[in-house]
Amino acid sequence: MSTNYNNYDVISWSLGTPITAGRLQQMTNNISEVKDATDTYAKGVLTLNTVTAQVADVHTGLGDSEVAIVTIDATSGPGPTDQRITLEENRYYKLCLHLPYIHYSTANASTYYTLKLIQTAGVSVTTLATYKIMSEESHTEAWFGGGTYSHLFDTSAGSTTQHAYKATIVRNSGSSGAYDIGASATGPLQLWVEDAGYTT
């Protein structure tokens, strides 16, 4: 397999050039070679959900129960539309969360938050990554934890089952004050899945 595009045979056409079996076969060969050369490359972002405003019953005044803060599922797209994806065999995928910030008005010094990146396929639920986020050692208002959290995983046989994803958060019982997850037009809360290329 050649990965040098300059090595592909050239098909030259001019006005009146006949369409022959040989020329059509060469076009097929060229398409096949280009596909072979690029199939291992990363395909980039496959699906993305962006939240640009806080939603009171999901993102604000959160308590001590685990809640989904952003999802990629059958109704998460505009419309709503189905944003779930199937996974091809022998590929790397990356699940990414951009979290603008966690905000609280009061908290104990021992307070921490558990953030999870979760994959769901049918009835199968898999926690791909877990992060512990500490609050500041203060009882006063604070904003913290903002950044991008990601997890890279690979497939072997692949799956035709539609896969959904979500990010969840829960606070330990060290604090009883309300907290919220920030989201705005200039600082959106985002969850996306990337194809990161072929795995051997």
CA distances from 109 to 114, 119, 146 (A): 15, 32, 19
- Boundaries of every domain in the chain: 5-38, 44-198
Of 99, 124, 125, the C-alpha closest to 114 is 99
Provide the whole-model pTM: 0.80
Element (H, E) at 118: strand 112-121
DSSP 8-state secondary structure symbol assigned to residue 136: P
Q: How many C-beta neighbours within 10 Å does residue 92 have? A: 15
Q: What is the pLDDT of residue 53?
A: 72
Q: Is 32 helix (H, G, I), strand (E, B) or coil?
A: helix
Of 85, 172, 70, the C-alpha closest to 117 is 70
Q: Which residues of the chain have pLDDT under 50?
A: 1-5, 56-57
Amino acid at 34: V
Architecture of domain 44-198: Sandwich (2.60)
Q: What is the per-residue pLDDT across 3-24, written as a single tens digit (0 to 9) for each?
A: 444 555 667 778 888 888 887 8
Q: What is the pLDDT of residue 2?
A: 42
Q: Which sign, positive or negative, has the C-alpha torsion 25, 27, 31, 33?
A: positive
Q: How many C-beta neighbours within 10 Å does residue 49 have? A: 21
Q: What is the pLDDT of residue 5?
A: 47
Q: What is the pLDDT of residue 3?
A: 47
Average pLDDT for the chain:
84
